[in-house]
Homo-oligomer: A and B are copies of this chain.
Amino acid sequence: QKSQFALSFSVPSLIAKQSKYDKRKVLHSIKVGIALVLVSLLYLLDPMYNEVGYNAMWAIMTVVVIFEFTAGATLGKGLLRGIGTLLGGGLGCLVAILADKFGKIGNNIVVGTSVFLFGAAVTYCRLVPSIKRRYDYGAMIFILTFNLVVVSGFRADKIIGLAGVRLSTIGMGFAICIFTSLFIFPNWASDELHYSMSSKFEKLGICVEGCLEEYFTQDNEKETQTKADFADCRSVLYSKSNDDSLANFARWEPWHGKFGLSYPWDKYLQIGDVLRELSGIMISLRGCLQSPRQPSTTTRHSIMEPCKTVGLHLAWTLGDLGESIKKMERCPPKALVASKLQSMKLELSLIASPSKLGAVDNGEGLAIASFVFL
């Protein structure tokens, strides 16, 4: 009854979410199109072209390369590109001026050596996991700019002027990206992380219900809804890298909506880890339930009532937690819910259905862990 309702409720909401996501994709594509047309104006309009000339190319390149799906990713990539260009260009100029003091051959040797040393050193840094995760793109741009400046500094004598024009066109491209990405229907990575977290709670709650349903229904009624639910469960299990990158982008995003500047994104990752562990437990619980050696129907019937109560309560708690995270409200005090779960656990342990209990145990651990956050 209740779970039926939950299931029928979740399917349309899933479809709605899907089509909403699709709408956002179309919107994003249109935004990229607009940004490209804007940046092309640098070439197309005569007064602008007279100003920047051939270097307008860099603005186009910037727009194509840094415009990402979420605002945070765009902002982060843009800033890294800017910083990498500045640092690489600055160092490149220094080395080029230095190398100019030696003769023609000496210049070549200095340039070659510096290209090799900086290239190898920065590439090594890019392989360090913590740098790779956050600053990979910036390091790449650093190598690129450094190389271009150092090598062409030897040919073009007016590198400083060249660097200035190039930097300003990159700035223009960046400004266009930021404008279209942040001010026209922005796609915040933080929103996405936030909602994906609450939907994870929802999915697991539905999963718990589905598991109960499957276990306590007759054989002929089986094989209806459960498969889809476990796909959800598995999607939670494998969501780590997605969460990581979203949190990474979310850190770049400025104050907006309900999120402050130093919002605790790490907490989201921790909750995500706990939820992933719970989904692992759910999957293994399902393995236990599907194993051929099952208690008789009567035994099963005898433990049905309390198990259903606990399971539904757990599912309800998960759904509740998800809801309260979504709305950013405080949920009912920790002690209250935890004690309720505790008493249920006791009740259940009287009947001693060990394999099931293992799961509930851990589920509770999860519930408590996530309460610590709220």
Q: Do A44 and B280 have beta carbons less than 8 Å apart?
A: no
Q: Do B287 and A127 have beta carbons less than 8 Å apart?
A: no
Contact for A238 among B64, B151, B240, CB less than 8 A:
B240
Instruction: Give A288 Cβ to nearest chain B Cβ, in Å.
Output: 4
Binds B, one of A30-38, A195-203, A314-322: A30-38
CA distance A152 to B288 in the complex (A): 65
Does A277 make an interface contact (CB < 8 A)? yes
Does A124 make an interface contact (CB < 8 A)? yes
Does A87 make an interface contact (CB < 8 A)? no
CA distance A358 to B264 in the complex (A): 38
Q: Do A37 and B115 have beta carbons less than 8 Å apart?
A: yes
Does A328 make an interface contact (CB < 8 A)? no
Q: Do A155 and B49 have beta carbons less than 8 Å apart?
A: yes
Does A231 make an interface contact (CB < 8 A)? no
Q: List chain B residues, Cβ under 8 A from A57.
A: 148, 152
Q: Quickly give the copy total for this chain.
A: 2
* A278 closest partner in B (C-beta): B284
Does A262 make an interface contact (CB < 8 A)? no
Q: Do A127 and B37 have beta carbons less than 8 Å apart?
A: no
Does A65 make an interface contact (CB < 8 A)? yes
Q: Per-residue 0/1 for A331-368: is the Cβ within 8 Å of any B Cβ (1 yes, 0 no)?
A: 00000000000000000010000110111011001000
Q: Do B123 and A40 have beta carbons less than 8 Å apart?
A: no
Contact for A281 among B34, B44, B238, B284, CB less than 8 A:
B284
Residue from A49, A60, A151, A237 having most chain B Cβ neighbours under 10 A: A151
Q: Do A127 and B25 have beta carbons less than 8 Å apart?
A: yes
CA distance A26 to B125 in the complex (A): 10
13 contacting pairs across A/B (C-beta < 8 A):
A30-B120, A32-B119, A33-B123, A36-B116, A37-B119, A40-B147, A69-B127, A277-B280, A279-B280, A280-B284, A284-B285, A288-B358, A291-B361
